[in-house]
Structure 1
Amino acid sequence: MRQVIAALNRGLNARLLQTALLLCGLYFGASASWIHIKAELAQLLIQHAWQKTLASPEQKITPWAWADTRPVARLQLPNKKMLMVLDGAQGNSLAFGPGLVAGSDTLGQGFSVIGGHRDTHFAALENAKPGQRLAVQTHHGDWIAYRITDVRVIDIHQTALEKQATEGLILVTCYPFHTIESDPNKRWVVTSERINF
Structure 2
Amino acid sequence: MKKLIKTSLLIIGSLLCLQASWLPTKAWLSQQLINYSWHQTLALQQRIKPWPWADTYPIAELSFKRLAKSLVILNGGDPTTLAFSAGAIAPFNQVSRAQPFVVAGHRDSHFSFLNEVDMKDIISLTDRYGQSQLYQVEAINIVDASTGQMPLLADDSSLILITCYPFNNSSSNSNERYVITAKLL
Measure how far apart 1:179 and its partner are.
2.1
Q: How does 1:106-121 map to 2 (within 5 A)?
A: 106-109=94-97, 110-121=99-110
C-alpha change, 1:54 and 1:63, in structure 2 (3 Å) is same
Separation in 2, partners of 1:88, 1:166: 20
| Aligned partner of residue 157 in structure 1, secondary structure | helix
How many residue pairs get aligned? The number is: 168
Separation in 2, partners of 1:108, 1:38: 34
Q: How does 1:46-125 map to 2 (within 5 A)?
A: 46-57=34-45, 59-77=46-64, 78-109=66-97, 110-125=99-114
Q: Percent of counterpart pairs with the same letter? A: 34
Alignment gaps of 5+ in structure 2: 1-12
| Aligned partner of residue 146 in structure 2, secondary structure | coil
Q: 2:134 aligns with which of 131, 142, 145?
A: 145
- Give the equivalent residue in structure 2 for 1:134: 123
Greater displacement, 106-115 / 146-155: 106-115
Alignment gaps of 5+ in structure 1: 1-22
Measure how far apart 1:164 and its partner are.
2.9
Measure how far apart 1:171 and its partner are.
0.3
Separation in 2, partners of 1:155, 1:135: 28
TM-score relative to the length of structure 2: 0.81
Q: 1:170 aligns with which of 160, 170, 176?
A: 160
Q: Which runs of 4+ in 1 moved over 2 A?
A: 36-41
CA contact (8 A) 2:95 2:101 kept: yes
Q: 2:30 aligns with which of 42, 48, 71?
A: 42
CA contact (8 A) 1:175 1:186 kept: yes
TM-score relative to the length of structure 1: 0.76
Q: 2:169 aligns with which of 164, 173, 179?
A: 179
Structure of larger gyration radius? 1
- Give the equivalent residue in structure 1 for 2:180: 190
Query: RMSD across aligned C-alpha pairs, in angstroms?
Result: 2.4
